[in-house]
Structure formats: structure tokens, C-alpha cells
Structure 1
Amino acid sequence: MENELAKSRWYRLLPIAFITYSLAYLDRANFGFGAASGMGDDLQINPAMSSLLSSLFFLGYFFFQVPGAIYAQKRSAKRLVFWSLILWGGLAMATGIISNINALIVIRFLLGVVESAVMPAMLLFLSRWFTKAERSQANTYLILGNPVTILWMSVLSGYLIQAVGWRWMFILEGLPAIVWAYFWWRLVDDKPQDAHWLTPDEKQALTRQLEREQQGIRPVRNYGEAFRSKVVLLLSFQYALWSIGVYGFVMWLPSILKAAPDMDIVKTGWLSAVPYVLAIIGMVSVSYYSDKSQQRKIFVWPFLVVGALAFYGSYLVGPSSFWLSFILLIVAGGAMYAPYGPFFAIIPEVLPQNVAGGAMALINSFGALGSFIGAYIVGYLNGSTGGFGASYLFMAASLLLSAILTLLALKKTTPAAVVEPGKVKAS
């Protein structure tokens, strides 16, 4: 019965989660293409303001993560994501309409506010539907919306900008989120007990399994206790440093490539997509083996070290060889994305359900803070030095520190697999 249940959950819920997160990522990452095209000239945006605009999204994202997650946990993740879809689609479309830089500042901040609840709400949503043995892969199929979207968005945005300009790119790419809100509302349920497409036996089997897993986790009374725990604090700073590398890379890769000789916006789009092919392969493979072995730590920190070494290699190569530097950037991109599934499986396995959603939101909010710092400082370093070497060093150091904090945070955590109530196998 549980095997039948598992099959129905995979094909019913994960495509919906994937599309939803894909649309969220589309409407945050296409700003890099607008910035690399004529947007800066049309709105008279100087390099310093461009860095601020790139990073303002993450400031809004940082402040509203935890309140959104608490609402999703206590009330409804379904309702929260529904309204977020409509609002972020509208704000993304408004980016293509405005002609005032002050309006763009407000839009970028509000876009971060609206999208801030999506990631923790979706992770919480999946934790109610998938067991520990499945969770890394389930998280990966959600987060795959990130690299897959950037892959096709990079190509599509290049062509759209060339064909209809940056304004229509934002308008056309913002509309699908508003349309998808209707399908999201009709197709998902907050909890297994609410699902009409499950039989009573299937609902009971899944509920029993999830409750059995909770018995092996030490109780935590409230969010305050959870937020003060060593593992949550260390993983918060770890994810902030990791996100410096990821979003310094995501937001500025189009501009880095566009600076190469004989590079137009269409070529930039195609080349920007390449690192995300490796990212997709890495994410699927790593999540599969993490779930199969029920190990998390070993599938996180080594990839962050590889990413750090690849950025350092790009620094050493410098502008002398564009293609060698580009290959190293491909490796860095793939390595940074690969561990997402195992990483976000950790918290629901070491903290009980009553606080796990808030803890994931706190960690993700620190990731947003790191994203703000990464997007801003990488842009600042590129503009002030006239090259990319300093930003490569900055991202390499951030990823290396993130790998070290991973080892410290998970040194003595409870593991992924519950052996029996009250007893837990060491990770």
C-alpha cells in the first residue's frame, strides 16, 4: 500500500512543486539579463545602483522568511503560495512597465518580500508528504526549478531581448505566474488528510510513517529554543556563505560572459545556460545517493570545496584564457548546486515538525542575506576593479568557509534514519 502511495505522490505533487518554484526563479533571475542589456541605459542606472538593485530583492527576502513560514505551518502553505504567485507575477510584469528608477527600487524589494515565503512553504509542504527515505530527492525535484529555469530562461531571455526588448521580456515572463496560481489552487492540498485522490488506507499509511519518524526526534518546545540551537545557528551562517557564491554567480554570470570579445546577448544566453546542465545532473545524482545511503553531511561539504577550488582556478587563469576560465565556472556552478537536496533534508530530520518549518525559514533567510551580500559585493568588485578576479576570490573564500561550517554543524547531529522510537542511528 505504501509503494502505491509513494508512486501517486511522486507524479501528482512534484511536477506542481517544480513548476511553481521554476516560475519564482524565473522572475528573480531574469533581472541579470535585463541588467546586461539596455535596461541600465534606458533607466540611467550606474554600476553602483545596478549592484544595489540586484541585491535589494534579497533584502526583502531576508526579512519576511520566518513570518511566512510560521503562517504556512500554522495556517496554510497552499493559500500563501497562491497569493504569492499572483503578486510576484504582477511585480515582475511591472518591472517592464516602469520608467522611474525609484519605482524599480520599490519593485525589487517587494518582489523579495512576496517570494520570501515560497521556499520555506514549499519545503514544509513536501515534508508533510514525503518520508525521510524520500525527502532529499523530493527536495531536489523542487529545487531543480532553479537550474532548469535558468537554463531555458537564459536562452529565451536572450532571444526575447533581441526580438522585443528588455521591457517585454519582463512582461512576458511575469504573466505565467499569475496564470499558474489558478492551477496551483485546484491541484494541491495542504496535507494528506485533505487529498481526495488518496484512499483512506493510503492516508493512514503515510500519516503513520511520518508520525513514527517524529518519535525518534528530541522534542523542542518552541521556535526560540529551535533558533538558539547550535545546528540551526551554524547552518544559518553556513547557508549565508554558500549563497554568497551561488548568487554572486547567478546574478553576474551574464555580465561576466557579455564582457568577452565578440559576445552578443544571444551568445551570452546560450553560454549562461551551460553550467546549469551540470547542476541538474549533479543535483539528481547527489540526492539519489544521499537518500539511498541516508547520509547528508558527506553529500554537502565536498561539493562546496570543489566550487571554491574552481573559482580560485578562474582567478588564477584570469583573462588570459576565456574558455578555460569558462570551464572552471561550469564546474563551480555545478558543484554549488549539487548538495541542495541533502542540505534541506537535514532540518526536518533533526528538529520536530512543530519548529522545523520556522528553522528552515531562518536558515533560508540567512541564505537570502548571503545572496544580498554576494550579489552586491560581486557587482561592486567587478565594477571597481574593472575585472572579475577579485570577485572569484571572494566567492571561493565564502564557499570554503561554508564547507568548514558544514562539518562543524553536523559533527554530532541526529541522523537521517530512525531505527526505532527513542533510538537514533549515528550519521
Structure 2
Amino acid sequence: MALTPPRSDARRILWEKDYGRWTVMSAIAAGPHYSSRWGRLIPIAFITYSLAYVDRANYSLGAAGGMAHDLNIDAAASSLLGALFFLGYFFFQVPAAYYAEKRSAKELIFWSLILWGIFAAATGLLTDIRLLYVDRFLLGVTESVVLPGMLIFLGHWFVKAERSRANTFLILGNPITVLWMSIVSGYLVQSFGWRGMFIIEGAPPIIWAFVWRAMVNDWPAQAEWLDPNERVELERKLEDEQRQFKPVRDYAAAFRTPMVITLAIQYFCWSVGVYGFVIWLPSMLKAAGETSIVLVGWLSAGPYLAAAALMIIGSYFSDASGNRKNFVWPFLLIGAVAFYGSYLLGTSSFWLGYGLLVVAGGTMYAPYGPFFAWIAETLPRNVAGGAIALINCCGALGSFVGSYFVGWLNGVTGSSDASYLFMAVALLASALLTLTLRGHADAPAPAL
């Protein structure tokens, strides 16, 4: 049996006092013990969350590609259909977090994959708008368990010095998926119509559910594929981290803490900007440039390419420094300024306005990894999952407000100018709320 490598082989900690900061340099050839968790679990988590984003963000492309016309969906109804997902997403997150922590995140995600695939495909089969309202709401309900369940799952497998990057690779499923989905969905609409797009993109989650169930374990102790020495060391370090927390009795006590309340309001405002952008970007680009649906798909990919790069860079340096706060608020502030710049430009310069949208999209996504690591490092395991779920619930409400009002403003005003100002104000509020919190700047614990 191979011996567990020294910690310095897995991750070399370099103290750069001359520059007044901590950096973590990843070992390029760390050996199988270090790479087994990352190489097995992170791709699975990434794909799972990616599939969820296909089926929540393709509505706007379907609407722009003929759905609204074929079903006689006016601007108000289209806004409500786009937003109902997030109203459904609000429900069941806290119970889901409790189930994932106390019972099994693995089983929770398995059944969610199957159900959301069914509801996603049904979007392409229904002809009655009332049934579409129900379908979009239920799609949100079934996907509501995914983020809290996945963050809890990763918290069982990755220690503090790895957590921001692990979260980032999970949430990269958002911008990376929207990047390729925007392009592929444009071609699918062109080739098979909007109904074919929804049906085709609803099938993969159902198939993937069985891959997920076969490949993952809830806890390291259950993983036969993990080296026993690494398993013992990983569990020891995770337990050592938990002993550093002050006990918190239950969810009710955790939910009353000032930090959880502030982050819940902050995430509400943040999500207003993010999902007003995600849901309506294709429609706003099409209206501004009068371009084909395929070109809209290509242009829609730009902000998500920037987002993927910034998420990786931000999470790396957040883990290296152990600081979370300072890798959240500056990005949100830049996003607010970029949206305000788009508002000032109006329709005077399409390409300059598009460049600002790329900046806004990239910076809105960049803080996700540090943000969710910050929550998990503030509360003990018995309540951290519930706090993440509560905060994500408030984000779901913000997503509903953002997706509904951005669509409504676009329809009422006939342009995107008011929407850009609305999203700028929401992101500015989110950045300012983050600044009110006490920073978390402890040096990172050595990783395995």
C-alpha cells in the first residue's frame, strides 16, 4: 500500500512576508492521494450543477426563438414565466439542507436530477400557458435542493484551505454552462425549434442521475476508492476544524446571528442583478442589435467566459490569503459601475455597451466561491448548511425580483436602459452590505 505523502507534497505553503501576504502554491505532481478527491468528485459536481443551469437559463433563448410568438405570450406573461422558476426555487431549501446533512446529499441530488429533467423536457411539450406556469414553478422546486445539497456534500470532502476553490469549481457550472448553452441552444432552436431545444436539453439530467449515484459517497468513510491513510487524515482535519467553532444550538439560533441576516439581505440584492442579467441577456442583446438568434447566442457567451476566468483567479487568491470579504465586495462594486455605464450609454454604442456587459457579467460571478466558503467558515457544521440554504432562499427571492422586473422593465420601456440602472443599484447595495461585515482574514490551514 502506498504511504500518504507528506503535506508539503500535497500543498506547499509559502510564507511571503516580504510582500505582506500568504500564498498557496499547488504541487504540480502531488501524487494520487491528493488528486483522487479533486479528480473524481469535482468533475462530477461540476457536471451536475451544469445540468441544472442548462434547464434554468434556456428559457430566454426559447422565448426569443419563437416560444413567445407561438403561444401568444405577452411581455408581462413572459416575465412571470421567466421568474416563476425562482419563486419555486425559494421553497424546500432549508429542509433540503437538513436532509442532506442528517441523511444523504447523494440521494437528495439523485431524485432532484430525475425530476428536474422531466419538468425541463415538459416545457417543450406543453401548449397551455397555465400549465407552463405550473411547470416552471415545479422546475424551480426540484432544483432548489441542488446548491445547498452540493455545498454540504463538498463540505464533507474538502478542508478550509481548499473550500473556496472546491465551491468555485462547483459554481463554475453556472457561467461555463451558460457560455456553451447560449451557443448550442441557438443552433438547436434554429434546427429543431424551441420545443425541440427544451426536450433535448431536458434528457441529460435523467441519464446523469444514475452516474451520480454510482460515483459518489456522502462521506469519506464510505469511499472504498479513497486511500485509507488519506481517509483518516481528511476526517481528522475536518473534525479539527469543527472543534474551533463556538457551539450553535440549532437553525433558529444560527438564523438570528447578525452575519446570517446581513448576508441574506446582501445575497438578495446580488441575485437581483445576476438573474436579471442571466435570464434576459439574450433578449436584451437581440433588441439592441437586431441580430440573428445564433449571433445572440455567441454574444451571450462572452460575459460567462470572463466570469469563468475571474472565478478561478478570485478563489485561488482567496484560499491563498484566507480572506473572503475582500474577494467579494470589490467585484460587486465593479459590476455595479459597469451596469451604470451601460445605462449612461443607452443605445448610442452597441459594442461599447456590450463590453461593459462582459465586465458586469464576469464580476458578478467572480465572488461565489469565497462567498459560500465564508459562510461555512463562520458557523459549525450542524447549522452551516441551514444558513447557506436560508441565504440561498433569499437569493432565490432576489432572483425572482430581478428576472421579473428586468423583463417587465424591458417590456414597458421598450429598451434595456432602465434595467441596467436597476441592476446597478442592486449590486451597489450588495457591495455596501458586504463592507459592513467584519472581515475574515485568517491564514489558511494547510491542505492535505
Match of 1:273 in 2: 301
Deviation at residue 33 of structure 1 after TM alignment? 0.5
Match of 2:126 in 1: 98
Deviation at residue 260 of structure 1 after TM alignment? 2.9
| Counterpart pick for 2:391 among 344, 363, 367 | 363
CA distance in 1 between counterparts of 2:444 and 2:208 reads: 36
Deviation at residue 219 of structure 1 after TM alignment? 1.0
Deviation at residue 416 of structure 1 after TM alignment? 6.7
1:56-88 deviation line (CA, Å, top 9, x unaligned): 000011122111111111110000000000000
CA distance in 2 between counterparts of 1:314 and 1:347 reads: 32
1:134-163 deviation line (CA, Å, top 9, x unaligned): 000000000000000000000000000011
1:25 aligns with 2:53: yes
Deviation at residue 412 of structure 1 after TM alignment? 5.7
Specify the code of the residue in structure 2 equivalent to 1:44: N
CA distance in 2 between counterparts of 1:412 and 1:31 reads: 38
Match of 2:147 in 1: 119
Deviation at residue 23 of structure 1 after TM alignment? 0.2
1:279-316 deviation line (CA, Å, top 9, x unaligned): 00000000000001111000000000000000000000
Match of 1:72 in 2: 100
| Counterpart pick for 1:132 among 140, 160, 171 | 160
CA distance in 1 between counterparts of 2:102 and 2:211 reads: 23
Q: Secondary structure at the match of 1:44?
A: coil
* Deviating more after overlay: 1-10 vs 89-98: 1-10
Taking structure 1 as reference, are residues 42 and 249 closer, same or farther at Cα in structure 2, changes over 3 Å only? same
Matches within 5 A, 1:384-399: 384-399=412-427
Match of 1:292 in 2: 320
Identity %: 63
CA distance in 2 between counterparts of 1:265 and 1:413 reads: 45
TM-score (norm 1): 0.96
Specify the code of the residue in structure 2 equivalent to 1:174: G
1:375-423 deviation line (CA, Å, top 9, x unaligned): 00111111111111111111000000000111113x166857469xxxx
CA distance in 1 between counterparts of 2:317 and 2:227 reads: 31
1:325 aligns with 2:388: no
* Deviating more after overlay: 176-185 vs 191-200: 191-200
Match of 1:144 in 2: 172
Q: Secondary structure at the match of 2:377?
A: helix
CA distance in 1 between counterparts of 2:206 and 2:443 reads: 37
Gaps of at least 5 residues in structure 1 are 420-427
- Tell me if structure 2 keeps the 8 A contact 1:349–1:414: no
CA distance in 2 between counterparts of 1:350 and 1:215 reads: 12
CA distance in 2 between counterparts of 1:153 and 1:205 reads: 40
CA distance in 2 between counterparts of 1:394 and 1:160 reads: 32
Q: Secondary structure at the match of 1:35?
A: helix
- Tell me if structure 1 keeps the 8 A contact 2:340–2:420: yes
Gaps of at least 5 residues in structure 2 are 11-31
- Tell me if structure 2 keeps the 8 A contact 1:242–1:367: yes
Match of 2:256 in 1: 228
- Tell me if structure 1 keeps the 8 A contact 2:325–2:439: no
Specify the code of the residue in structure 2 equivalent to 1:277: L
Match of 2:17 in 1: none
| Counterpart pick for 1:190 among 204, 208, 218 | 218
1:169-208 deviation line (CA, Å, top 9, x unaligned): 0000010000000100000000001101113222110000
Alignment RMSD, CA only?
A: 1.2
Deviation at residue 218 of structure 1 after TM alignment? 1.3
- Tell me if structure 2 keeps the 8 A contact 1:90–1:178: yes
- Tell me if structure 1 keeps the 8 A contact 2:322–2:441: no
**Count of aligned pairs between the two proteins:** 418
Match of 1:401 in 2: 429
1:5-31 deviation line (CA, Å, top 9, x unaligned): 332100010000000000001010001
Matches within 5 A, 1:133-282: 133-282=161-310
CA distance in 2 between counterparts of 1:319 and 1:262 reads: 12
Matches within 5 A, 1:43-62: 43-62=71-90
CA distance in 2 between counterparts of 1:47 and 1:262 reads: 18
Match of 2:334 in 1: 306
